[in-house]
């Protein structure tokens, strides 16, 4: 029995020792977590935003254009008149190289579907044959008509000669006979003159008709030539060296094999200039007033975590836009990446830290260490049991500058301890300074609103 009590006592003692050690360790950890030291050094006010890389300069590669010469003729826009015309239709991408492919000048990029325009060419060729036949028939009809008219004129000349001979032979005849012969000659001459005038008019009309038919023929021939040249451009090649980047349409979808291209937005791909890159970000309407051109930016690329880049703000949008999944207006900000790096690619996601202001050799602490009472006077609770009033300066997302009232390396509570009411107050001489600053801010705010 005695032995049992001894063993029980030993077990209880060990348990008590373990609990004491655990509480001490927990207390040490809590004390470590409860305090932060005031630091002195460089303090930055910044805005962070995610973005993506784009090339500052890009060359757009287009589907072939429908020229003015290929849309003329007797019909309206998009219709084939007698001279023909190309109907405006979408282009369909049959095949395209993978995005990111590096190409040299003249290299294959994509193939467009020719089916619809091949049918247009077939119709144009048939129309051209019809027009050629029409010209030949018009020339043949004109030749036959004018030949007949010339024969009529020749025959009429014979009739005039006969009338002249008859008149000459009737000079010894009675006056009535002579008069009849004169009338017959006059009639024959007037008939000849009418045939000559009719012939001249028919020649002029025929030439006009032939020119008109030839004009239609030339239009038809031009249409065929234009279509053949147009279709020869359906194989898209690189105008210069670069990396193929798919074009996004108005809905944000990339144009790839199977996609259709509007003839009024004919960009198939872009070839970005990788020597100069831009990080495009969007900043909220609350913070955009702090951003200005020329500000320095620290950039990191998600795909290259070990690479640190720098940049500079080169443009800030004046008008905000509504982005998907965002209720606030967002403003586009362009940041030029300094230097060039061959590993950077368009569409890589970036993290961007825009440096708004920088302060050297200032004391700062985490924002949550600052407390305020009912009088709105800020203070910190020191590890030395002091309720220290402080004059605060600028703040960023995590920390705030302490301009007066706190020395570097001073430990302050992150959250008020249970016995905070017992801490003695220090720095009451700073209260007038704080109130004066608050008053000045109110005056500035009032003037701004007025």
Digits of tens for pLDDT over the chain (450 positions)? 445 545 555 555 555 555 555 454 444 444 445 899 999 999 999 999 999 999 888 899 998 887 544 444 433 333 344 444 567 788 899 999 998 888 999 999 999 998 888 888 898 899 999 999 999 999 999 999 999 999 999 999 999 999 899 989 988 889 898 899 889 989 989 999 999 999 999 999 999 999 999 999 999 999 899 888 888 889 999 998 888 988 888 777 888 898 888 888 889 999 988 888 999 999 999 899 999 999 999 999 999 988 889 999 999 999 988 887 777 889 999 999 998 787 888 889 999 999 999 999 999 999 999 999 888 899 999 999 999 999 999 998 899 999 999 999 999 999 999 888 899 999 999 999 999 988 887 776 666 555
d(CA 17, CA 9): 12
The domains of the chain are located at 49-56+273-357, 59-242
End-to-end Cα spacing for the chain: 91
- Taking CA 282 as the corner, what is the angle to CA 276 and CA 283, rounded to the nearest 5 degrees? 125
Alpha carbons within 13 A on the beta-carbon side of 206: 19
| Beta strand extents in 56-156 (DSSP E only) | 58-62, 91-96, 102-103, 108-112
Q: Are 240 and 297 in contact (CB under 8 A)?
A: no
CA–centroid distance for 365 within its chain: 44
Is residue 338 a contact partner of residue 277, using CB atoms and an 8 Å limit? no
CATH topology for 59-242 is Helix Hairpins (1.10.287)
DSSP category for residue 428? G
**DSSP conformation class of 410:** -
CA dihedral 205, 207, 213, 217 (to 10 degrees): -170
Strands 386-389 and 424-426: parallel
Instruction: Return the closest-CA partner of residue 84 out of 94, 76, 96.
Output: 76
**Tens digits of per-residue pLDDT, 31-49?**
445 899 999 999 999 999 9
Each residue of 347-403: pLDDT tens digit?
899 999 999 999 999 999 999 999 998 888 999 999 999 999 999 999 988 999 999
158: number of Cβ within 10 Å? 11
Q: Are 349 and 385 in contact (CB under 8 A)?
A: no
Helices 175-232/115-169 angle, 10° precision: 170
- Closest to 91 measured CA to CA, from 261, 234, 233, 259: 261
CB atoms within 10 A of CB 281: 25
Average pLDDT, the chain: 85
Please choose, from the candidates 263, 315, 265, 257, the residue with its C-alpha nearest in 3D space to the C-alpha of residue 291. Answer: 315
CB-based burial, 204-216: b 16+ in 10 Å, e otherwise: eebeeeeeebeeb
Do 49-56+273-357 and 59-242 fold alike per CATH?
no
CB-CB contact of 263 with 66 (8 Å): yes
* CATH of segment(s) 49-56+273-357: 2.40.30.170
């Amino acid at each position: 029995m005695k032995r049992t009590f001894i063993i029980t006592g030993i077990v209880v003692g060990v348990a008590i020792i373990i609990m004491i050690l655990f509480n001490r360790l927990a207390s040490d950890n809590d004390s470590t977590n409860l305090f932060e030291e005031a630091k002195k050094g460089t303090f930055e006010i910044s805005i962070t935003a995610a973005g993506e890389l784009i090339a500052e300069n890009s060359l757009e590669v287009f589907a072939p254009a429908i020229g003015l010469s290929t849309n003329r003729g007797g019909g309206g826009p998009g219709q084939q008149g007698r001279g023909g015309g190309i109907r405006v239709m979408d282009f369909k991408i049959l095949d395209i190289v993978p995005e990111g492919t590096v190409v040299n000048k003249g290299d294959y990029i994509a193939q467009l579907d020719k089916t619809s325009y091949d049918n247009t060419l077939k119709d144009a060729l048939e129309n051209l044959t019809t027009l050629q036949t029409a010209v030949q028939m018009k020339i043949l009809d004109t030749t036959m008509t004018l030949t007949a008219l010339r024969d009529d004129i020749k025959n009429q000349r014979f009739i005039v000669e006969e009338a002249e001979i008859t008149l000459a032979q009737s000079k010894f005849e009675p006056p009535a006979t002579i008069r009849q012969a004169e009338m017959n000659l006059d009639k024959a001459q007037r008939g000849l003159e009418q045939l000559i005038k009719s012939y001249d008019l028919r020649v002029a009309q025929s030439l006009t008709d032939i020119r008109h038919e030839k004009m239609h023929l030339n239009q038809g021939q031009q249409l065929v030539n234009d279509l053949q040249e147009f279709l020869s451009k359906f194989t898209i090649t690189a105008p210069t060296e670069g990396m193929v980047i798919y074009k996004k349409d108005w809905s944000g979808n990339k144009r790839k094999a199977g996609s259709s291209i509007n003839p009024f937005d004919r960009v198939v791909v872009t070839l970005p200039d990788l020597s100069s890159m831009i990080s495009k970000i969007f900043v909220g309407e609350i913070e955009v007033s702090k951003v200005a051109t020329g500000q320095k930016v620290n950039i990191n690329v998600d795909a290259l975590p070990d690479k640190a880049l720098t940049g500079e703000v080169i443009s800030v949008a004046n008008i905000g836009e509504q982005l998907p999944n965002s209720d606030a207006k967002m403003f586009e900000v362009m940041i030029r990446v300094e230097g060039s790096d061959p590993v950077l690619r368009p569409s890589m996601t970036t993290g961007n830290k825009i440096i708004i202001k920088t302060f050297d050799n200032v004391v700062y602490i985490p924002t949550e260490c600052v407390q305020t009472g009912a009088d709105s006077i800020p203070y910190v609770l020191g590890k030395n049991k002091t309720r220290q009033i402080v004059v605060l300066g600028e703040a960023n997302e995590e920390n705030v500058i302490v301009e007066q009232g706190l020395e570097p390396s001073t430990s302050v509570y992150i959250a008020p301890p249970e016995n905070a009411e017992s801490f003695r107050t220090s720095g009451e001489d700073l209260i007038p300074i704080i109130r004066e600053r608050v008053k000045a801010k109110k005056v500035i705010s009032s003037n701004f609103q007025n």
